[in-house]
Amino acid sequence: MEKDKRLLKGYSLNLDLNVEVFEPTSNEDLLKFLRDLPQESLVSVMGSGLSYGDSFFPPRGNDSITISTRLLKNNITIDLHRNELTVSSGYKLNEILSFISNYNFLIHALPGTGDVSLGGAIANNVHGKDSWRVGNFNNNIISLLTCDRQGFIHTLSIEEINKKRFILGVDLIILEATLKLQQKSNLYIEYSERSFDSIEDGIDLLITSRNDFDFIVGWVDCFNLKNKKPTGRGYISLAKFIGSDNKLERSKSQNPKVNRYIFGLNPIIFWRLIRFFYYPKTLKIFNSIKFRLAQNKFISNIKRETHLLNWNFIHHKLPNMNLLHLPLGFIEVQAFFKINTASSSVRELINYCNEKKLQSELCGIKIHPKKQGMNEPGFYDSESVSIGIDVGLRRVRNAESNLNLTKMIDLIIKLGGNIYLTKDSICLSRQIEMMYPEYHLLLCEKIKNSDPIFKSGQTERYTRGVI
């Protein structure tokens, strides 16, 4: 049970911290470590380390440590009669899907990369391009094997976690999960693209298309202007499963394809070369070309077929895309708005970003279901639409831009919106209190009462000035 010192960085590369890391190789090692650790030690939890901010950094202090669950891979067992999978939290989604796809099983609500660990997917309740229809990732869960800060085991359902007001990653570390599997005749989808001329048209297309497709995601060009205002034009990618046919055998044998190279180049070298050309003018040109292709009726009417996992995991086609933003990294704010006000709210948000030169360089839009518990992105009692604002800090890192980013969050709040905390690295305590009053109050209570919980840089930031 050795510890080592290492530099941790979030996926957005805008924060880093030298910390002591402990990586247990079994549940027993982890439990013993926690029981032997002084209760005053500051402990955070990390899976694959792909959260964007400081949610897995420990609070700064002399007695702090991060526990990585990356090596917890002691169990992966499939029950073919019950369509269930029991799997350790350290397995990546890629590894799990490679295993279950041989049986034509699928897990719902997959994020854009399979490199996320199972524990991280659950703790952050990730969402996918089908979540408006099937719910977020934790709808897959039958039960969880967890342990608390004192090293005691708990087996719980998601309903019990919500009822007892546990916060995953704060009250509990996930050791194993038993998941519901979805049987498909094959894992192939048919997909096409449709363009839209404005953000209002794009959101309307998202909403009206949902009954006809299994997966939907949209992409917005925030650099195209008309009368000095962003049009918000873009395109929607629409996909649905293909019925049982001769592709059945192919789908059994085809695992998710993960590119390790880009056009034969190491991703580090590739993205270093691209950085020379990565500026608003070139982004505008690229976005325009992509939009024109989606707008072309001949091209847009083409229905292409591929394995679902190759279509869903966009980050696998261009691995290590975050390296594009070195050396300063980027900020992503994924804002959620209620579905009936989404068009006007998103319009106001992208207008603000254009005015402050914070245009999103990669901008996705999706539909989301209503919440079922506190560990839910969106935190609404109704459906919502999200938009991801990605801003490279190489382009905007200065005191004025920092203030404008904070004001962006204030605008989202003013418009009745919330943000996805897994991608947050800048939100202030007062902003969390306004967006998520129940979550904020519960977090403050746990810390005030000196409950034995796991603490992170993010929980410290969210309760700063309150405790």
Report if residue 337 sits inside a domain: yes
Among the three residues 38, 71, 104, which one is the final residue of a domain in this structure?
A: 71
Report if residue 434 sits inside a domain: no
pLDDT at 149: 96
Together in a domain, 253 and 172:
no
Cβ neighbourhood burial of 171 (10 Å; 0-12, 13-18, 19+): buried
Together in a domain, 239 and 385:
yes
pLDDT at 466: 62
What residues have CB less than 8 Å from 105, skipping those under 6 apart?
78, 83, 85, 181, 182, 183, 184
pLDDT at 248: 47
Nearest by Cα to 230 from 62, 370, 347: 347
| Alpha-carbon 440 to chain mean position | 21
The dihedral region occupied by 125, where left means phi > 0, alpha psi between -120 and 50, and beta the remainder, is left
Q: What whole-number distance in Å separates Cα of residue 32 and Cα of residue 34?
A: 5
Report if residue 297 sits inside a domain: yes
What residues have CB less than 8 Å from 418, skipping those under 6 apart?
335, 336, 378, 379, 380, 412, 435, 436
pLDDT at 347: 98
Report if residue 332 sits inside a domain: yes
Together in a domain, 139 and 280:
no
pLDDT at 256: 61
- 311-323 pLDDT, tens digit per residue, is 999 888 889 999 9
pTM here?
Answer: 0.94
Which residue segment(s) compose the domain that 149 sits in?
Answer: 76-183
Sign of CA pseudo-dihedral 103, 109, 110, 112: positive
Report if residue 441 sits inside a domain: no
- 35-63 pLDDT, tens digit per residue, is 999 988 999 999 999 999 999 999 887 78
pLDDT at 253: 47
Task: Give the pair of three-digit tokens for residue 188.
Answer: 């192939």
Together in a domain, 138 and 287:
no
Together in a domain, 346 and 414:
yes
Q: What's the domain count of the chain?
A: 3
CATH code of 177's domain: 3.30.465.10
Point out the residues of the chain with pLDDT beneath 70: 1-2, 244-257, 300, 374-375, 377-379, 465-467
- 338 bridge partner residues: 384
pLDDT at 258: 77
Among the three residues 71, 100, 121, which one is the final residue of a domain in this structure?
A: 71
Report if residue 442 sits inside a domain: no
pLDDT at 105: 94
Together in a domain, 159 and 193:
no
Together in a domain, 206 and 325:
yes
Together in a domain, 55 and 123:
no
Report if residue 345 sits inside a domain: yes
Q: What whole-number distance in Å separates Cα of residue 107 and Cα of residue 109?
A: 7
Together in a domain, 24 and 94:
no
Query: What b-and-e string marks burial along 313-341, b requiring 16 or more CB atoms within 10 Å of the CB?
Result: bbbbeebebbbbbeeebbbbbbbbbbbee
Q: What whole-number distance in Å separates Cα of residue 44 and Cα of residue 20?
A: 11
Alpha helices in 210-279 (DSSP H): 248-253, 267-275
Neighbouring CB atoms inside 10 A of 345's CB total: 22
Together in a domain, 312 and 204:
yes
Together in a domain, 174 and 195:
no
Among the three residues 183, 208, 237, which one is the final residue of a domain in this structure?
A: 183
What residues have CB less than 8 Å from 203, skipping those under 6 apart?
342, 343, 346, 365, 385
Report if residue 316 sits inside a domain: yes
Together in a domain, 216 and 295:
yes
